[in-house]
Amino acid sequence: MSVHEKVNILMVDDQPAKLLSYEVMLGELGENLIRANSGREALELLLKNEVAVVLMDVSMPELDGFELAEIIRQHPRYQKTAIIFISAVHLTDLDRLKGYQRGAVDYISVPVVPELLRAKVSVFAELHRRAHQLEMLNRELRRLSSSLIAMQDDERRRIARELHDGLGQELTAAKMIVDGILFQEKGEASSFKRNAAADASSLIDRAIQQVRSISHLLHPPLLDEVGLLSALRWFLEGFTKRSGLHTVLEVEPQEFPRLPSELETAIFRIVQEALNNVFRHAKARNCWITVKHASGQVTVTVRDDGKGVEQGVTEFRPDRIGMGIGGIRQRIKEFGGELRLARLNPGTLVEVVIPTKSLPQAPQTSKVSSAVVASIAK
Ligand SMILES: Nc1ncnc2c1ncn2[C@@H]1O[C@H](COP(=O)(O)OP(=O)(O)OP(=O)(O)O)[C@@H](O)[C@H]1O
Ligand SMILES: [Mg+2]
């Protein structure tokens, strides 16, 4: 709906003459005016059209305005639709309260003042237009941020591969040449050259190792090859060495099934971010990670014994969370899952629950041997 797109206004009254007069009064608003001669007809029209404002007579035979408002409100699509009652008889405050409780947002009494009717209807029509635009923008934002995450994953995978296959291979070739020099240079006179070649060779070794770790951290090869658990074990091993934190991984069932590749990537990134947060913010000594797959859902928890997360973060206040937790939330939303952060005594718990029932099936538990895993993880 664009800024000036028309919205539908439903006018309900059992007297055709009144409907005609409302139509004349509201004509200059330039919106779509729809007429209904009874409550029943109004309900039928509501099911077929998206309506911004309902203008209706309080007293109608068969189904009066209050009853109609109550039925309209029961439909999830119309819980926020503006309902304006027109009342020919004097309504007491108690009557009005009854109307408000059943979903009225405003009243107009007879004789209707055209300017007042137009002003009220146009305010609600505009509100509806704005709410609709906001909803569209939100939807677009969600779509954009999820495609951004997917693009980021693809980009990391591509850079990881290029680093490994491009720079990694060039360095290996350079090492072969330098080792060749080392092998050929013999005798006293060339000891300087030999030492230089030996230094260069070990420098290249270190560079190869670094390219390997950067490439693997960008996208663990094990994730695609043999799945989430091997990738997590590999990551935890490196993380424990780098951080000095003691980590424990608990998995259920032991024969963990393969999950769809996007979900495995999401869980890996979530654990990676949660652990990086423990290292950066928690001042913890221990960290426990669990990954459980049962009753059609995967539950992942990361718990530490550090200083504990602050309340603003557990409430996901935008000014307190960063890219990390923001990214975790976005990834989980993609799968219809939930994230919970809790401050424990001591420490912090990050808990993620993702339903797997509606996801496409992934190839079953990988039967790759531990020797293959070890060689890929090296
Ligand atoms: N395990 C933890 N223990 C204590 N505080 C934590 C823990 N995890 C997160 N926090 C708090 O939550 C805040 C938000 O975390 P988040 O990962 O969103 O952002 P960040 O780590 O500060 O930055 P980045 O955008 O690089 O991830 C952190 O700044 C930190 O204060
Ligand atoms: Mg972080």
Q: How much distance in Å is there from the Cα of 291 to the middle of ligand 1?
A: 21
**85-94, 116-125, 264-273, 306-315: range with lowest mean pLDDT:** 85-94
Give pLDDT, residue 370. 47
Give pLDDT, residue 303. 98
> 354-372, pLDDT tens digit by residue?
999 877 666 554 444 444 4
Q: Is the CB of 322 under 6 A from ligand 1?
A: yes
Domain ranges of the chain: 8-112, 142-219, 220-377
**For tokens 């997917």, what's the residue?**
150
Res 158 pLDDT > 90? no
> 311-320, pLDDT tens digit by residue?
999 999 989 9
Q: Is the CB of 313 under 6 A from ligand 1?
A: yes
Higher pLDDT residue, 4 or 290? 290
Q: Which residues, including other chains, have CB under 8 Å from residue 21's CB and lie 6 or more apart?
A: 112
Q: Which of 277, 305, 332, 348 to mutate to test the pocket of ligand 1 (most atoms within 8 A of CB)?
A: 277
Give pLDDT, residue 215. 85
The H or E element containing residue 82 is strand 82-87
Fold agreement (8-112, 220-377) = no
Closest-approaching ligand to the CA atom of 314: 1
Closest to 29 measured CA to CA, from 125, 142, 148: 125
Pick the CATH number of 220-377 from 3.40.50.300, 3.30.9.10, 1.10.533.10, 3.30.565.10: 3.30.565.10
**224-228, 236-240, 253-257, 327-331: range with lowest mean pLDDT:** 224-228
> 232-280, pLDDT tens digit by residue?
998 899 889 888 999 999 999 998 999 998 899 999 999 999 999 999 9
CA 370 to chain centre: 35
Give pLDDT, residue 162. 86
Q: Is the CB of 319 under 6 A from ligand 1?
A: no
Average pLDDT in the 57-65 region? Answer: 76
Q: Is the CB of 278 under 6 A from ligand 1?
A: yes
User: Mean pLDDT across the chain, nearest whole number?
Assistant: 86
CATH architecture entry for 8-112? 3-Layer(aba) Sandwich (3.40)
Q: How much distance in Å is there from the Cα of 316 to the middle of ligand 1?
A: 11
> 276-297, pLDDT tens digit by residue?
999 999 999 999 999 999 999 9
From residue 68, give the alpha-carbon distance in Å to each of 37, 42, 49.
13, 9, 17
Q: Is the CB of 321 under 6 A from ligand 1?
A: yes
**Which of the 8 DSSP states describes residue 80?**
T
